[in-house]
Amino acid sequence: MSVAEQPSNVSTAGMRRILPPEVVERGPDPFAPPPGLRGGGPVRPLDLLNGARAWLVTGFEEARTVLSDARFSADKLRHRDATSPRPPAEPPRGARADGAFVFMDPPEHTRLRRPLTSQFTVRRMRELESRVREIAVGHIEAMRAAGTQADLVPAFALPLPSLVICELLGVDYADRAEFQERTAVGLSASATPAEQAVARAGLHAFMGRLVSAKRAKPADDLLSGLVHDTDPPLTDAQLTDVALLLLTAGHETTANMLGLGTFALLEHPDQLAALRAEPGLIDNAVEELLRYLSIIQLGVSRVATEPVTLGGVDLPAGATVVIATPEVNRDPRHWTDPDVLDLRRPRTPHLAFGHGVHQCLGQQLARIELRIGLGELLSRLPGLRLAVPAGQVPLRDEMLVFGVRSLPVTWS
């Protein structure tokens, strides 16, 4: 699921138009945060290209404070966000999706999130684990049957979380081809805006039909639980929005972690060899990859609702703070040798899944998908390696979620 409770289909193209180039342009290391994020303290002023001022947060403890302190609001319609092109105004009724609780603060946020939290049960996650393995193995065996080379992104990284979301929501098998096709286009970094708009409109209609079907004939799935077990009941519009949020948050982030995580392992042969030799390292490996890669880029922001002192810096009411998650998860005050990928690193908290009331709902499922997906790839594709030089792997760095557009690999 989401590597933060954030709408993962948002492009950073808008952010790039207002953020100084030095904080968004990456260096030669594809796995490192932009060099311009370093230095200047854990909280520093950031003059935006639109003439506004924000504050950049790169410190771990400071970011935890922003994400957990009620004085920092996620409601971008009620509170003016300097990174937003919209003028400050009270949101008109219906200005946002009914179920888009990522843009809400408590108690509104709590009212919509609580019933969803209750659906992510230990039993459901355990049952999904066997299906995740079946899906992963099926796609790997299909790659093997086709030869000894594949593009891992369309062949494995994209379809695995898509089919897992189908299982979670209870999408009928007969409808999964349509679901996957619309999802692939709607969340594609290469599709045109017009193609994405058509696909997303189709997904909205698809989810609306799915909600109606679950109302008429419930089953043992998350969406049926939301339809029938929530008190007070959620409206069809809210249910549709929540289902779409689960799709965008749970598909794109996990898919990019699978692709980029595999790329990182292949480019760190000592760590890859350690994991192959000791498969029991996989849980630790997943946590370290989440910390080391932190694929949510400069898209998480909050607005101070009153004057706050953060990291020794006095912020005025209305200040926008932008959290640089990749740099936050490499804070040298929190980790030793933070720029080193070390699968045996002792586990410490990271912010790849966010923190506070907006912490990722599906982080347990995301860990299951990454653990099984990466583990099965390494065990079933001996000698897995890049099929092109690392410099030819196209990066996906213009979107909110960082990753690779394709990952050509080969195996023995």
Provide DSSP, 268-320. -HHHHHHHHH-GGGHHHHHHHHHHHH--B-TTEEEEESS-EEETTEEE-TT-E
- Among the CATH numbers 1.10.630.10, 3.40.30.10, 1.10.760.10, 3.30.1360.120, which is that of 13-403? 1.10.630.10
The amino acid sitting at 256 is N
Distance separating alpha carbons of residues 236 and 326, to the nearest angstrom: 37
Q: Kindly give, in sequence order, each residue whose CB lies less than 8 Å from that of residue 75, ignoring residues fewer than 6 positions away.
A: 103, 104, 105, 303
Q: Considering only CA atoms, which of 349, 370, 404, 412 is closest in space to residue 151?
A: 404
Q: What is the pLDDT along the chain (412 residues), one digit of tens a residue?
A: 444 454 433 344 456 677 888 888 888 999 999 998 988 899 999 999 889 999 999 999 999 999 999 999 999 878 888 887 554 444 444 444 566 788 889 998 888 888 888 888 888 888 889 999 999 999 999 999 999 999 999 999 999 999 999 999 999 988 888 887 887 777 666 678 888 889 889 989 999 999 999 999 999 999 999 999 988 899 999 899 888 888 877 788 899 999 999 999 999 999 999 999 999 999 999 999 999 998 887 778 999 999 999 999 999 999 999 999 999 999 999 999 999 999 999 988 999 999 999 998 889 999 999 999 999 999 999 999 999 999 999 998 876 788 999 999 999 9
Cβ atoms within 10 A of the Cβ of 303, count? 23
Measured at the CA of 8, the angle between CA 115 and CA 107, to 5 degrees, comes to 35
Distance separating alpha carbons of residues 38 and 283, to the nearest angstrom: 29
Distance separating alpha carbons of residues 366 and 340, to the nearest angstrom: 23
Across the strands, what pairs with 150? Answer: 409
User: Looking at the chain, how many residues does it have?
Assistant: 412
Across the strands, what pairs with 322? Answer: 56, 301
What is the domain partition of the chain in residue ranges?
A: 13-403
Q: Considering only CA atoms, which of 311, 329, 326 is closest in space to residue 397?
A: 326
pTM above 0.85, yes or no: yes
Q: Are 322 and 300 in contact (CB under 8 A)?
A: yes
Q: At what angle do helices 222-229 and 236-266 cross, to 10 degrees?
A: 150
